[in-house]
Structure 1
Amino acid sequence: MHTILVLGGYGFFGGRICAALHGNEDIRLLIGGRQLAKARSLCDELGLGHTHAVGIDARDPALAQRLAELQVNTVIHTAGPFQGQDYAVAKAAIAAGANYIDLADGRDFVANIGSLNAEAAARGVLVTSGASSLPALSSAVVDRYAPRFARLERIRHGIASGARSPGLATMTGIFSYCGKPFTRLHDGQWRSARGWLGLERYRFPHPVGNRLLGACDVPDLVLFPQRYPQLRSVSFQAGFASMLGHLVVWAGAQGVRFGLLRSMRSWARPLHRIARWMEPLVSDKGGMFVEMEGVGHDGAPLALHWHVLAARNHGPHIPCGAAIALARKLARGDALPRGAMPCVGLLSVEEYLGALKGLDVREVPA
């Protein structure tokens, strides 16, 4: 059997991944994290014995040795936030001869994972970062529709959450760049934007409806211009189910912009707690969109709009799709590249969304 260790396996995304992989006859699942009691509790929920729970610290200098002792074939790293992390876990996986998958959303973290390519290739393992909605699903969507364009010039994409707030680690990562400058390609030039500012309204198809969105710093902003060299503009925006909640974050980002606050990281915990209290009062629906514009093969302007919509608070499962799909492929022995790379070009849209089968998640093709 293919042994998969999910680091942070009882967390917001890790728990969903474990639930999806549990019961796969090709997989021996290990649920890992610093709090062994929580790992055992999830084992109880899934009907697994406590031998599937592992007390393990991602920051342990002896992590590679632990992975080897556990005979781990693949590590799925969900213990964020990844902004500011180094590649210690990925390096430990490589040293132990294990594949490595993470759900990172940090721009530099994902974009620079290729720095480990030589070591990963020499060990014959797959090391991939950003196995999540961005860039795994977003790039799969663009790859699907790019052949319709003679010249793809603009990509605008975004995500609006439902009532179920993301985990504290995710919110901490989000708030780390609120109000702070980052660059993105606009009209052929790299220009500055600021995290969670640039307030806009976007209308998703029914039943999601109108949402407020703000500019976000994500790996796609640097990866897409490399992958699609004719692009002149790339942007990504995100928003919350509660418009009031979004405006609070926008106001805090303005405070950072004008020097009234150093950072919004300290806001993450109280706002996360408030968001959990407000869940019953907020829409349980969310979605993701990808807009592509350019010139078709007939020489005429071409614009395509793709959506995926989630209800019943199933939106938080969407970021887990890539890790689930890749884990299943590795366990089956499917052909996958070896080396280190961002999670781009490894999955089709069908493979990604197929990992979410049975959930209230619906694609609206372009």
Structure 2
Amino acid sequence: MHTILVIGGYGFFGERICEALARLEGVRLLIGGRDIARARIVTTRLGLEPSHGIAIDARATELAQRFRDLGVDSVIHTAGPFQRQDYAVARASIAAGANYIDLADGRDFVAGIEQLNAEASERGVFVTSGASSLPALSSAVVDRYLSRFSRLDSIRHGIGSGARSPGLATMQGVFGYCGKPFRRLVDGHWQTARGWLDLRRYPFPEPVGNRLLGSCDVPDLDLFPRRYPDVRTVTFHAGFASAPGHLVVWMASQLVRVGLISSILPLAAPLHAISRWLEPFVSDKGGMFVSLEGVGLDGKPQKLDWHLVAARNHGPYIPCGAAIALARKLVRGDSLPRGAMPCVGLLTVEDYLATLQEFDIHEVPA
């Protein structure tokens, strides 16, 4: 049996990952977090022994020994926000000889995981950060279509969410950079953008339709120029299902930009509560797009648009796909690189979407 510990396994994304892993043959699943009562509620719901719900603190000093005592083979870390964390859980996993996967969306956190490469390689374990829609799925889409270009100039991508609000930790991670400056590559030059500004409307395929999007600071903005060195533009935008809700965040971000407030983080909890209350009145559809531009193999300009569309509030399962797909590979004994790396080039689009087949999620290929 391959023992997998999901830290934050009763959280917004963690519980969805546990639902999939509980059905996977050859897995001994442990659901961990600081609240053992919540962990055991999930174990009961999934038909696991109550003892598989455990109390574990990701900040504990003896975390590596705790992993050894539990016989953990792989750790999936879902307890964000990662923007305010260090690599303590990853280091403990390496020290315990366990593989490590996280769902981090923090730009510096995901790119910086490479600093653990020597330790992970020496221990012979697989360590990756950013096993989520970005950069795992976004890079898989670019890799799929790269051979259609003689030169890829631009990668513009984004996500429009459905009504179902993410967990509070995810919202805190997103709101942390609202109105704050960050760098992105545009026309071959590093320019300054600001979180959730640069307002624009994007036409997703039906049934999603038009959505307001704002600029976001994500790992892809660093990773893609390194992975695709000919690219001169990399941008990412995201938006909410509710246009009024998106405009509230946009206006608050403007207040940060002009210095009237220092951060909108204090608004995260009340806005999260309001968004949960409004869910029945907001579209349950969401989507993701990746738009590639450059020169085709015939020497002519070429543009390809790829989309993923979700309905019935199934969009929140999409970020879980990478961790599930990688766990399946580890359990089967598939070849994965040893060392520490961002989650790019590790999965194909087909690997990723195979974890989402039971949901109302479909691809619109380029």
TM range (shorter): over 0.9
Query: Per-residue deviation at 1:356?
Result: 1.1
> 2:137 is matched with which residue?
137
Q: Output the amino acid matched with 2:201.
A: R
Q: Output the amino acid matched with 1:273.
A: A
Query: Per-residue deviation at 1:269?
Result: 0.3
> 2:274 is matched with which residue?
274
Within 5 Å, which residues of 2 pair with 1:1-366? 1-366=1-366
Identity of aligned residues (%): 71
Q: Output the amino acid matched with 1:40.
A: R
Instruction: Name the CA distance, whole Å, in 2 between partners of 1:194 and 1:263.
Output: 13
User: Which runs of structure 1 show a deviation greater than 3 angstroms over 4 or more consecutive aligned residues?
Assistant: none
Instruction: Name the CA distance, whole Å, in 2 between partners of 1:252 and 1:164.
Output: 21
Query: Which digits, 9 at most, give the CA deviation of each residue in 1:277-313, with x for residues without a partner?
Result: 0000000000000000000111100000000000000
Query: Per-residue deviation at 1:26?
Result: 1.2
Query: Which digits, 9 at most, give the CA deviation of each residue in 1:258-286, with x for residues without a partner?
Result: 00111011111000000000000000000
Matched residue SS, 1:345: coil
Query: Per-residue deviation at 1:47?
Result: 1.2
Query: Which digits, 9 at most, give the CA deviation of each residue in 1:303-334, with x for residues without a partner?
Result: 00000000000000000000000001101101
Instruction: Name the CA distance, whole Å, in 2 between partners of 1:341 and 1:292.
Output: 24
Matched residue SS, 2:82: coil
Q: Output the amino acid matched with 1:230.
A: D
Instruction: Name the CA distance, whole Å, in 2 between partners of 1:90 and 1:76.
Output: 10
Matched residue SS, 2:236: strand
Unaligned runs of 5+ in 1: none
Instruction: Name the CA distance, whole Å, in 2 between partners of 1:278 and 1:23.
Output: 32
Query: How many residues end up aligned between the 2 structures?
Result: 366
RMSD, matched Cα = 0.4
Query: Per-residue deviation at 1:48?
Result: 1.1
Instruction: Name the CA distance, whole Å, in 2 between partners of 1:166 and 1:54.
Output: 24
Query: Which digits, 9 at most, give the CA deviation of each residue in 1:56-81, with x for residues without a partner?
Result: 01011111010000010000000000
TM-score (norm 2): 1.00
Instruction: Name the CA distance, whole Å, in 2 between partners of 1:105 and 1:310.
Output: 20
TM-score (norm 1): 1.00
Instruction: Name the CA distance, whole Å, in 2 between partners of 1:334 and 1:81.
Output: 30
Q: Output the amino acid matched with 2:65.
A: Q
Unaligned runs of 5+ in 2: none
Query: Per-residue deviation at 1:357?
Result: 1.5
